[in-house]
Amino acid sequence: MATKMNFGDRLFLIGVYAALLVLVLSMMLPLLQVVTISLSPPKVVNSYGFHLFPTVLDFSGYAKVLRYDAIWTAYGNTVLRTLLGTAITLLLTFLGAYPLSKKRLPHRKFWTGFVVLTMFFSGGMIPTYLLVKGLGLMNTIWALVLPSAISVFLLLIVRNFMIALPESLEESAKIDGANDVFILFRIVLPLSLPIIATVGLYTAVWHWNAWFDSMIYIQEESKQVLQLILRRILLEGQDVSVETSASMQAAVSTETVKMAALVVSVLPIMCVYPFLQKYFVKGTLIGSVKG
């Protein structure tokens, strides 16, 4: 522990803290604005200037959002999709990357090339749609988790990570009498935890944020994901065309309601994230090969 800091060190620290403070502010201020608007009546929302702290409290936005069933069912769908999707992706990516990382796999170059090819050439939206439809996945959660089950990019990352694992570990396990499955789950898996955590994080975030596939493949509102419902609420009333067809001005959600919906859907993940983050940081440290 350093007990004394010279002037240069102090200056450096001040600089670092200042930079971090700016960074924090740049993230906190928009968030504060959203929270404040969700608590303010339209009169305040329409006034100019920053809305960092609520001046007049109005909970009508939350009252309306909490009564909005679609948000809650969509919440469940998103959580389910994220858990299921991440689990499938992790399993398949891990099982797919391992053989590709082994030199003794016959035609390894060909298989790798075969997989990589799909990274550059995809069928496009309509063929994918036809495929999903043909497989009978339409309007089910599988349409959301299966087409995206393996990301070639993540697969390659895991494969490269596994290639870097020392061959000798495996050999010594073999000598001790371990079979391939045992080696995979007792030797390779623990060593690969950091990369698995990374892949899991990527995938989970991707699933949490995805909405386009839900819009295309899911018909029933009770199966839609949160982001799609949110998007619909947020964009309400921004376009004239609503009224060129409806006979008279329709009641649209106010900004207060929209921001309340936003807060409600963001808050849980914000509460959970700091605790998850701890594991992600840990995950990248534990299990790494030492020496």
Partner 1 sequence: MKTTTKRMAALLACIMLVTLLAACAGNNNAPESGNAGNTDGAAGQTNNGDNAAVEEPEEPVVLEWLGYDSYAEPDADSAVVQMVEEKFNAEFDFWYVDAQKWDDNLNVKLAAGEMPDVLKIPNRQNIAKYVDQGILAPIPKEKFEELAPTYTAFIDENYPEAWDGVMFNGEIYAIPTTNLNGSYPTVVIWRQDWLDNVGIAKVPETLEEYEEALYKFRNDDPDGNGQKDTYGLSDFALPNILGAFGYPGISDFKQAAKGDPSKSLQFTEKDGQLVFAAVQPEMKEALAVLQQWYADGIIDPEFLTSENTTGYWADSQAFYNGKIGLTGMGMFYHWRHELDPSLPDDVGGGQYKAFMDAQPDGELAFGVPAVGPEGKSGTPQWDTTSHPVAITTKAAEDPRKLDTVLQMVEAAVTDYEYYLSVTSGEEGVDWKLDGDTFVNLSAADSVADQNKKGKNVLSVKVSYDEYLKKKDPFIYAFGDKYANINGYTSMFVPTVEVFEKNSSALNKLTIETYLKIITGESPVDAFDAYTEQFMRIGGTEVEEAVNAAYDELMGR
176 touches partner 1 (CB under 8 A): no
Residue 104: both structure tokens together: 């003794």
When the beta carbons of 126 and 175 are compared against partner 1, the nearer one is: 126
3 touches partner 1 (CB under 8 A): no
When the beta carbons of 97 and 257 are compared against partner 1, the nearer one is: 257
When the beta carbons of 37 and 199 are compared against partner 1, the nearer one is: 37
Q: How many angstroms separate the CA atoms of 291 and 118, rounded?
A: 37
When the beta carbons of 30 and 166 are compared against partner 1, the nearer one is: 30
Q: How many angstroms separate the CA atoms of 228 and 155, rounded?
A: 28
Cα 174 to the center of its chain, rounded Å: 38
Residue 50: burial class (beta carbons within 10 Å; 0-12, 13-18, 19+): exposed
Site string for partner 1, 94-133 (x = CB under 8 A): -------------------------------xx--xx--x
Q: Which of residues 181-210 bind partner 1 (CB under 8 A)?
A: none
70 touches partner 1 (CB under 8 A): yes
Cα 117 to the center of its chain, rounded Å: 25
Q: Give, in order, the Cα–Cα distances in Å from 227 to each of 46, 87, 125, 210.
A: 26, 20, 20, 7
Instruction: Choose which of 39, 45, 97, 195 interacts with partner 1 (CB under 8 A).
Output: 45
When the beta carbons of 46 and 172 are compared against partner 1, the nearer one is: 46
Cα 27 to the center of its chain, rounded Å: 18
Contact 200, 277 (CB under 8 A): no
Instruction: Choose which of 57, 245, 285, 290 interacts with partner 1 (CB under 8 A).
Output: 245
Q: List residues near partner 1 by CB under 8 A.
A: 42-43, 45-48, 70, 125-126, 129-130, 133, 215-216, 219-221, 228, 231-233, 235-255
